[in-house]
Amino acid sequence: MGDKANAHPGAAGRAASADQPASVRNVVLVGHSGSGKTTLVEALALTAGAVNRAGRVEDGGTVSDYDEIEHRQQRSVQLSLVPVEWDGIKINLLDTPGYADFVGELRAGLRAADAALFVVSAAEGVEGITGATRMVWEECAAVGMPRAIVITHLESARADFAAMTRSCAQAFGADDPDAVVPLYLPLHGEQGPDGHAPVTGLIGLLSQRIFDYASGERKESEPGADQLPLIEEARNTLIEGIIAESEDESLMDRYLGGESIDFKTLVDDLERAVARGIFHPVLAAAPAAEGSRQGIGTVELLELITGGFPTPLEHPAPAVTTPGGKARPPLTCDPAGPLAAEVVKTASDPYVGRISLVRVFSGTLRPDETVHVSGHGLADRGHEDHDVDERIGALSSPFGKQQRTLTRCVAGDLACVAKLNRAETGDTLSAKDAPLLMESWDMPDPLLPLAIQAHSKADEDKLSQGLSRLVAEDPTMRLEQNQDTHQVVLWCLGEAHADVALERLRSRYGVQVDVVPYKVSLRETFAGKSGGRGRHVKQSGGHGQYAICEIEVEPLPGGSGIEFVDKVVGGAVPRQFIPSVEKGVRAQAAKGVAAGYALIDVRITLLDGKAHSVDSSDAAFQTAGALALREAASGARIHLLEPVAEVQVLVGDDYVGAVMSDLSGRRGRVVGTEQAAGGRTLVRAEVPEIEIGRYAVDLRSLSQGTARFNRTYARHEPMPPQLSEKIRERAHDGT
Nearest by Cα to 34 from 73, 66, 76, 79: 76
Amino acid at 23: S
Q: What is the model's pLDDT at position 7?
A: 40
Q: Are residues 628 and 644 in the same domain?
A: no
Q: Are residues 405 and 471 in the same domain?
A: no
Q: Are residues 381 and 457 in the same domain?
A: no
Q: Are residues 39 and 164 in the same domain?
A: yes
Q: Per-residue pLDDT for 221 more than 60?
A: yes
Indicate which CATH number applies to the domain containing 628. Answer: 3.30.230.10
Domain termination residue (choose one: 636, 652, 685): 636
C-alpha–C-alpha distance, residues 44 and 150, integer Å? 13
Identify the band that residue 387 occupies on the pLDDT scale cut at 50, 70 and 90. Answer: confident
Q: 93 or 472: whose pLDDT is higher? A: 93
What is the pairing mode between strands 24-30 and 115-121? parallel
Q: What is the model's pLDDT at position 191?
A: 73
CA angle 9, 15, 19 (to 5 degrees): 90
Q: Are residues 109 and 180 in the same domain?
A: yes
In a domain, 379, yes or no: yes
In a domain, 431, yes or no: yes
How far out from the chain centre does Cα 192 lie?
44
- Answer yes or no: are the C-beta atoms of 699 and 660 closer than 8 Å: no
* β-bridge mates for residue 708, sequence order: 650
In a domain, 509, yes or no: yes
Q: Are residues 536 and 459 in the same domain?
A: no
Nearest-10 Cα torsion for 29, 34, 39, 41? 10
Helix (H, G, I), strand (E, B) or coil at 103: helix
Q: Are residues 342 and 402 in the same domain?
A: yes
How confident is the model over 83-137, as pLDDT tens digits?
999 999 999 999 999 888 888 899 999 999 999 999 999 888 666 677 778 888 8
User: In whole angstroms, how far apart are CA 561 and each of 617, 641, 694?
Assistant: 27, 13, 30
Indicate which CATH number applies to the domain containing 693. Answer: 3.30.70.240
Among the listed ranges 82-96, 114-128, 260-274, 446-460, which one has the minimum average pLDDT value?
114-128
Average pLDDT for residues 560-585, to the nearest whole number?
Answer: 94
Nearest by Cα to 64 from 90, 87, 96: 96
Nearest by Cα to 231 from 223, 220, 241: 223
Q: 398 or 662: whose pLDDT is higher? A: 662
DSSP string, 352-385: TEEEEEEEEEESEE-TT-EEEEE----GGGT---
Among the listed ranges 35-44, 53-62, 72-81, 361-370, which one has the minimum average pLDDT value?
53-62
Q: Are residues 182 and 95 in the same domain?
A: yes
How confident is the model over 694-734, as pLDDT tens digits?
999 999 999 888 889 999 999 999 999 999 888 888 777 66
How confident is the model over 234-260, as pLDDT tens digits?
999 999 999 988 888 888 888 888 888
Among the listed ranges 390-404, 458-472, 639-653, which one has the minimum average pLDDT value?
390-404
Average pLDDT for residues 669-676, to the nearest whole number?
Answer: 94
In a domain, 723, yes or no: yes
Q: What is the model's pLDDT at position 183?
A: 94
- Print the domain residue range for 554: 523-636
Round the CA-based radius of gyration of the chain to a whole number and report it.
33
C-alpha–C-alpha distance, residues 126 and 334, integer Å? 43
Q: What is the model's pLDDT at position 647?
A: 97
The domain tally of the chain equals 5
Phi and psi at residue 235, in whole multiples of 5°? -65, -45
Domain termination residue (choose one: 260, 279, 314): 314
Question: Which residues are CB-contacts of 687 (< 8 A; sequence separation ≥ 6)?
Answer: 644, 645, 647, 663, 666, 667, 668, 669
- Answer yes or no: are the C-beta atoms of 33 and 128 closer than 8 Å: no
Q: Are residues 528 and 613 in the same domain?
A: yes
Amino acid at 417: V
What is the pairing mode between strands 180-182 and 280-284? parallel
Q: Are residues 104 and 227 in the same domain?
A: yes
Among the listed ranges 216-230, 549-563, 675-689, which one has the minimum average pLDDT value?
216-230
User: In whole angstroms, how far apart are CA 702 and each of 326, 564, 659, 684, 707?
Assistant: 45, 48, 7, 17, 9
The H or E element containing residue 504 is helix 495-507
Phi and psi at residue 204, in whole multiples of 5°? -75, 120
In a domain, 59, yes or no: yes
Indicate which CATH number applies to the domain containing 407. Answer: 2.40.30.10
Helix (H, G, I), strand (E, B) or coil at 620: helix
Indicate which CATH number applies to the domain containing 292. Answer: 3.40.50.300
- Answer yes or no: are the C-beta atoms of 202 and 185 closer than 8 Å: yes
In a domain, 1, yes or no: no
Domain termination residue (choose one: 405, 438, 471): 438
- Answer yes or no: are the C-beta atoms of 372 and 431 closer than 8 Å: yes
Q: Are residues 665 and 589 in the same domain?
A: no
Question: Which residues are CB-contacts of 433 (< 8 A; sequence separation ≥ 6)?
Answer: none
User: In whole angstroms, how far apart are CA 91 and each of 339, 346, 407, 476, 579?
Assistant: 22, 21, 18, 27, 71
The whole model's pTM is what? 0.85
How confident is the model over 137-178, as pLDDT tens digits?
888 888 889 999 999 998 887 788 988 999 898 888 766 778
- Per-range mean pLDDT, top range of 74-78, 265-269, 442-446: 265-269
